[in-house]
Structure 1
Amino acid sequence: MSLLSVLNLTTQFRTPQGWRSVVEDVSFDVAAGQTLAVVGESGSGKSVTALSVMGLLPEGLARASGSIRFEDKELLTLPERQMERIRGNDIAMIFQEPMTSLNPVLSVGRQIAEPLVRHHGLSRRAAMAEAMRLMDRVRIPAAARRASEYPHEMSGGMLQRVMIATALACAPRLLIADEPTTALDVTIQAQILELIKELQDEDGMGVLFITHDMGVVAEIAERTVVMYRSKLLEAGATEHVFAAPRTDYTRRLLAAAPRLGDLGGSPLPRPYPEEGASLPPAIDTVRRNAPPLLEVRDLVTRFDLRRGLLGRVHARVHAVQKVSFDVYPGETLALVGESGCGKSTTGRSVLRLTEPTSGSIRFAGQDLRSLPRAALVRERQAMQMIFQDPFSSLNPRMRVGEAIAEPMIVHGVLKREEAPVEVARLLTRVGLDPAMADRWPHEFSGGQRQRISIARALGLKPRLIVADESVSALDVTIKAQVVNLMMELQADLGLSYLFISHDMAVVERISHRVAVMLSGEIVEIGPRARIFADPQHPYTRHLLSAVPEPDPARRLTRRVIEATELKSPIRLPDFVPPVRSYAEVAPGHLVLQGA
């Protein structure tokens, strides 16, 4: 008997033009002890399906029809009072973004205890004791101490564990996990996936797992449902969906899923193959006979922490510590590591968007740290940045054509009357219709907005682009398109990239060299093929072992992933970092010693 049975579910939202279907005639079952993965791109209806099951659709603005049966209850016709007894008790949900799902003014222990007080009638003291037991169960270190912490004091991985503990507090029969690992580092993602497997084995709960990552699907799901534009395209056992996909869309999803080792021992990056096409040629644009375009030596960036009426410095955040690297013309150097390792601060420090504490930064032979502000602004024309969230980096009150033209006009690259022609050329260059210049940012998908950000960066004809997690939040097929676009532009224009990411499979695809960061330091740097084929530092091996692979056979394996957080970068003002040295284990392949 199915634990959850969804039959002919149709969910509609009210719009000015009338009711619009966002989930259309969807059916599936989830059995006790089984994991069903619902996959598809953003906008396919995955999350709305989950909200329909939970009865969390906005009243008056949405309506659902069909049938949703949980055990012997029809949820669509259940009175709200009875639904409240099921929600959080028999059916629990983990949301994609824990920071927006948790109350910032309540301690995490109290938030875990809340459903126990509400549904099981426990006293506050008993509920808090159970909350700490649950925190231990989801592998949160020092649970007794951390129960009194607030959400802003915990890392993303630990916050997601808090969400899981809250969802599991009442021992639900069904767990709905909506993109619970999409924004997490690869090591934290591996920990969360293993944790869900363990808890499912122990309690026999059913899991409805929503994702667009085919590697995650392969590792966790017995059955898979593929959704596209509100409809269910394909459903079946996961191994059958992977081995013999019945629709073109499923084949595209699988083809776009990056796999470690796809490039073998090739020293050069290659674009993702288009559907039905052979492997694209490798991209070789690096001019190693030329001097480095960017030279960074002993870069240090620290942030003072002050307190008291006089604002005395009581500690410092050691975000970047003695980092050195070169980027050659036409080369992509990838900076990889977990959140908090200092890679984004390194990228911002290189452009002096964040002012470094010490060290040397030379771009095309020019010492950037010695430049006054006006000269730095002129020099930055050749150095552009692409941010992780293109929506927040675009002005919502400015049409995209104006957003692309603005930096060119400000820097005097062209006159305002010349802008429309150049904007049309740039939009065409990144694969968008020039007529889109008159649209607003909210009218575009995430992938299209990232293309607009790339077009804006290209307008100043840069030689170096710092791409900070520029594809991390994109769907797998859109991610492949944007990566291919960046590599095509590199081949055509000779661009250099400092590519900042925690996605090791994408890094293998796009980079010439890789630098691995941990706690503000580069622990290993070398040619891409060497780093992936023969990692020397334990942390590099840890990162690579945590990458999910789109192979359903791995679902039956259990990996031991240590539940640790990065060491705190906060040090006392008089702290002196230890002197580090590197060993060259192969030409150009350096490994930090003593760390």
Structure 2
Amino acid sequence: MSILAVRNLTTAFSTAEGWRDVVDGVSFDVDAGETVAIVGESGSGKSVTALSVMGLLPKGKARVTGEIHFRGRDLLRLSEEEMQAVRGNEAAMIFQEPMTSLNPVMSVGAQIAEPLRRHRGLPKADAMREAIRLMDRVRIPAAARRASEYPHEMSGGMLQRVMIATALACAPKLLIADEPTTALDVTIQAQILELIKELQAEDHMAVMFITHDMGVVAEIAEKTVVMYRSKMLEAGATEDVFARPKTDYTRDLLAAAPRLGDLGDSAVPRPYPGRDGVLANPVDTVDHGGDALLEVKNLCARFDLRKGVLGRVHARVHAVENVSFALRKGETLALVGESGCGKSTTGRAILRLTEPVSGSVMLEGQDVSLLKRKALMRLRQSMQMIFQDPFSSLNPRMRIGEAIAEPMLAHGLTTPAEARARVAGLLDHVGLSPDMATRWPHEFSGGQRQRIAIARALGLDPKLIIADESVSALDVTIKAQVVNLMMRLQQELGLSYLFISHDMAVVERISHRVAVMLLGEIVEIGPRAAIFANPAHPYTRRLLSAVPEPDPARRLVRRDIPLQELKSPIFPADFIPPRRVYDAVGHDHFVMRQEAA
């Protein structure tokens, strides 16, 4: 039975030039107990489709036409009061970013109880008891205690569970999930997907799942709707869409979906097919006979936690603990792990953007940790960083040509006239038009802004680039283009990359070697092929088992992903870390010896 039937949905926004369609003639059905995935890149109209269904678009600024039949009623004909009775009751929505969706001054228990009090009329105490039961149902440990916590006290994965519990409070017949796992680590994503499948099976609920990840689509959806630039390109059973895509765009989405094991035992990274002009048979650019470009030995970074009137140190965050590795010229070493494992702090400590408390960082034999300010500034010409969010790392008041030229001028490497020519060449090098130099950061897409960040880093002719989650926020096809661009630049310029990521499928595509981090420590390090084919540490195996695969045949396979939150890296001020021992399990492949239980 159809719970939701959308017919010829068209949504337009009011602009200075008039009304502009952002959803154009979209039609689909969602049946009871069925999951329909709405897929496409950012700007395709996916989220606006969901907001149109829920009646959450601003009045006067948005115009919605067509038909949205929900349980026999056309939602577009309901008054705002009637829609309020539907939202959060018969139909509920999970938003992409829980921290911006949850009230920071209300406990999570109170927020879950709110729709119960609003729609069911439950007294406060009864609503809170039901909220705790819902928290148990979405597998939040110690629910009775954690109900009194505030959003900032919970991890991203737990916050997304709170959002699910809030959406399920009134047993809705339709659940709309708008990119609910995009910002989550791969293991947390797997847990959330399994949870949604379990809850759907229990309540025979219809689910409209919005995503750009084809691996997630394959694992969760019976039917798939592909959208591109406001239009619906194709729709059908997920198996048919994957096996027989009807449009080039769908084929591009599927080609860009990473698949673990595609590279086999090859030691050489491989580009995504048909993207960005990368050589069909890239050569191994690593200088195997040369000395290490970068050597990190026993690197530690800790942060003091103070309390009391005198501000005494009572505990420390052990963010990075005795991390050691080497990186050769032309090599990509991927540093992987979940949020909070110390990956980004390691990268920042290497550049001394975060001051390490001990250890050494040697770049071509020069100890970075001993350099004074001016000498460090000169050395940073050879070490550049690409940050996760290019928009926040670009000055919104500077045209991108000025932003790219700024570090070159600050280091005195060129004159203003020469810088303009250099900027044009760099933009061309990263696949952008030189005339874009006069535009502002907000005029570019996420993928284009990441290319600008790469061009800015290349302006100083670096030998090492630290890429900190540089593609994690990008759509799958844009991610493929940026990864291929980085690989092409490595071939042409002999660059070395420290590639920081939690996306294991991308890591397999781009890296020569992989280091797996857990709670500030490297637990396993070795050649990419060895790590993916023969993971030796349980945590590495857990990361790999959680990666969604773009294979619809796996949709009915239930994965046993244990509910685990990472332990806290906070220890008392007098804590002395244990000495770690590593065992060789293969050529250049080492794993931390596990402590006896």
Range into which the TM-score falls when normalised by the shorter chain:
over 0.9
> Residue deviations 1:556-577, cap 9 Å, x none?
1111111111100111001111
- Rounded Cα–Cα distance in structure 2 between residues aligned with 1:537 and 1:59: 54
Please tell me whether the aligned partners of residues 272 and 484 of structure 1 are also in contact (alpha carbons under 8 angstroms).
Answer: yes
- Relative distance call for 1:489 and 1:276 in structure 2 (3 A) is closer
Alignment of 1:502-581 (within 5 A): 502-581=502-581
Show the counterpart of 1:143: 143
Alignment of 1:137-536 (within 5 A): 137-274=137-274, 280-536=280-536
Show the counterpart of 2:127: 127
Task: Specify the SS of the correspondent of 1:388.
Answer: coil
Task: Specify the SS of the correspondent of 1:381.
Answer: coil
Task: Specify the SS of the correspondent of 2:471.
Answer: coil
- Rounded Cα–Cα distance in structure 1 between residues aligned with 2:273 and 2:251: 13
- Relative distance call for 1:276 and 1:579 in structure 2 (3 A) is closer
- Partner amino acid, structure 2, of 1:421: A
- Rounded Cα–Cα distance in structure 2 between residues aligned with 1:304 and 1:505: 35
Please tell me whether the aligned partners of residues 276 and 485 of structure 2 are also in contact (alpha carbons under 8 angstroms).
Answer: no
Please tell me whether the aligned partners of residues 219 and 554 of structure 1 are also in contact (alpha carbons under 8 angstroms).
Answer: yes
Query: Is residue 589 of structure 2 the alignment partner of residue 594 of structure 1?
Result: no
Alignment of 1:35-46 (within 5 A): 35-46=35-46
> Residue deviations 1:359-381, cap 9 Å, x none?
11111110011101111111001
- Rounded Cα–Cα distance in structure 2 between residues aligned with 1:438 and 1:395: 14
Task: Give the CA deviation at 1:282.
Answer: 3.5
- Partner amino acid, structure 1, of 2:137: R
Task: Give the CA deviation at 1:283.
Answer: 3.5
- Partner amino acid, structure 2, of 1:198: E
Task: Specify the SS of the correspondent of 1:207.
Answer: strand
Please tell me whether the aligned partners of residues 368 and 376 of structure 2 are also in contact (alpha carbons under 8 angstroms).
Answer: yes
- Relative distance call for 1:108 and 1:554 in structure 2 (3 A) is same
Task: Specify the SS of the correspondent of 2:259.
Answer: coil
Task: Give the CA deviation at 1:277.
Answer: 10
Show the counterpart of 1:76: 76
> Residue deviations 1:395-447, cap 9 Å, x none?
11110000000010001111112111110000000000001001111111100
Task: Give the CA deviation at 1:276.
Answer: 13
> Residue deviations 1:338-359, cap 9 Å, x none?
0011101111111110111111
Please tell me whether the aligned partners of residues 30 and 36 of structure 2 are also in contact (alpha carbons under 8 angstroms).
Answer: yes
Task: Give the CA deviation at 1:291.
Answer: 1.0
- Partner amino acid, structure 2, of 1:38: I
Please tell me whether the aligned partners of residues 285 and 331 of structure 2 are also in contact (alpha carbons under 8 angstroms).
Answer: yes
Task: Specify the SS of the correspondent of 1:471.
Answer: coil
Moved over 6 A (4+): 275-279
- Relative distance call for 1:346 and 1:579 in structure 2 (3 A) is same
- Rounded Cα–Cα distance in structure 2 between residues aligned with 1:45 and 1:136: 35
- Rounded Cα–Cα distance in structure 1 between residues aligned with 2:354 and 2:415: 30
- Relative distance call for 1:238 and 1:276 in structure 2 (3 A) is farther
Task: Specify the SS of the correspondent of 1:293.
Answer: strand
- Rounded Cα–Cα distance in structure 1 between residues aligned with 2:381 and 2:175: 50
- Rounded Cα–Cα distance in structure 1 between residues aligned with 2:391 and 2:502: 20
- Partner amino acid, structure 2, of 1:529: A
> Residue deviations 1:471-519, cap 9 Å, x none?
0010010000000000000000000000000000000000000000011
- Rounded Cα–Cα distance in structure 2 between residues aligned with 1:494 and 1:185: 31
Question: TM-score, normalized by length of structure 1?
Answer: 0.99
Please tell me whether the aligned partners of residues 405 and 456 of structure 1 are also in contact (alpha carbons under 8 angstroms).
Answer: yes
> Residue deviations 1:79-121, cap 9 Å, x none?
0001001000110000000111011111111111111111111
Please tell me whether the aligned partners of residues 273 and 279 of structure 1 are also in contact (alpha carbons under 8 angstroms).
Answer: no
- Partner amino acid, structure 1, of 2:107: S
- Rounded Cα–Cα distance in structure 1 between residues aligned with 2:278 and 2:478: 20
- Rounded Cα–Cα distance in structure 2 between residues aligned with 1:276 and 1:472: 19
Task: Give the CA deviation at 1:281.
Answer: 1.2
Task: Give the CA deviation at 1:278.
Answer: 11
* Structure 1 segments unaligned to the other structure (5+ residues): none
- Rounded Cα–Cα distance in structure 1 between residues aligned with 2:421 and 2:295: 36
- Rounded Cα–Cα distance in structure 2 between residues aligned with 1:281 and 1:464: 23
Show the counterpart of 2:87: 87
Please tell me whether the aligned partners of residues 283 and 487 of structure 1 are also in contact (alpha carbons under 8 angstroms).
Answer: no
Task: Give the CA deviation at 1:314.
Answer: 1.2
- Rounded Cα–Cα distance in structure 1 between residues aligned with 2:153 and 2:376: 36
- Rounded Cα–Cα distance in structure 1 between residues aligned with 2:358 and 2:288: 27
Identity of counterpart residues, as a percentage? 75
Please tell me whether the aligned partners of residues 7 and 68 of structure 2 are also in contact (alpha carbons under 8 angstroms).
Answer: yes
Please tell me whether the aligned partners of residues 176 and 207 of structure 1 are also in contact (alpha carbons under 8 angstroms).
Answer: yes
Show the counterpart of 1:33: 33
- Partner amino acid, structure 2, of 1:245: P
| Deviates most, 131-140 or 464-473 | 131-140
- Partner amino acid, structure 1, of 2:243: A
Show the counterpart of 2:100: 100
Task: Give the CA deviation at 1:587.
Answer: 1.4
Please tell me whether the aligned partners of residues 233 and 247 of structure 2 are also in contact (alpha carbons under 8 angstroms).
Answer: yes
Task: Specify the SS of the correspondent of 1:290.
Answer: coil
Please tell me whether the aligned partners of residues 13 and 21 of structure 1 are also in contact (alpha carbons under 8 angstroms).
Answer: yes
Please tell me whether the aligned partners of residues 276 and 484 of structure 2 are also in contact (alpha carbons under 8 angstroms).
Answer: no
Please tell me whether the aligned partners of residues 252 and 275 of structure 1 are also in contact (alpha carbons under 8 angstroms).
Answer: no
> Residue deviations 1:214-262, cap 9 Å, x none?
0000000000000000000000000000000000100000001010011
Show the counterpart of 2:66: 66
Please tell me whether the aligned partners of residues 397 and 440 of structure 2 are also in contact (alpha carbons under 8 angstroms).
Answer: yes
Aligned residues: 595
Task: Specify the SS of the correspondent of 2:470.
Answer: coil
- Partner amino acid, structure 1, of 2:286: V
Please tell me whether the aligned partners of residues 255 and 275 of structure 1 are also in contact (alpha carbons under 8 angstroms).
Answer: no
- Partner amino acid, structure 1, of 2:48: V
- Rounded Cα–Cα distance in structure 2 between residues aligned with 1:166 and 1:280: 49
- Rounded Cα–Cα distance in structure 1 between residues aligned with 2:289 and 2:85: 69
- Rounded Cα–Cα distance in structure 2 between residues aligned with 1:54 and 1:101: 15
Please tell me whether the aligned partners of residues 93 and 176 of structure 1 are also in contact (alpha carbons under 8 angstroms).
Answer: yes
- Rounded Cα–Cα distance in structure 2 between residues aligned with 1:209 and 1:590: 40
Show the counterpart of 2:6: 6
- Rounded Cα–Cα distance in structure 1 between residues aligned with 2:356 and 2:142: 34
CA RMSD in angstroms, aligned pairs only: 1.1
- Partner amino acid, structure 2, of 1:151: P
Please tell me whether the aligned partners of residues 270 and 283 of structure 1 are also in contact (alpha carbons under 8 angstroms).
Answer: no
- Partner amino acid, structure 2, of 1:238: T
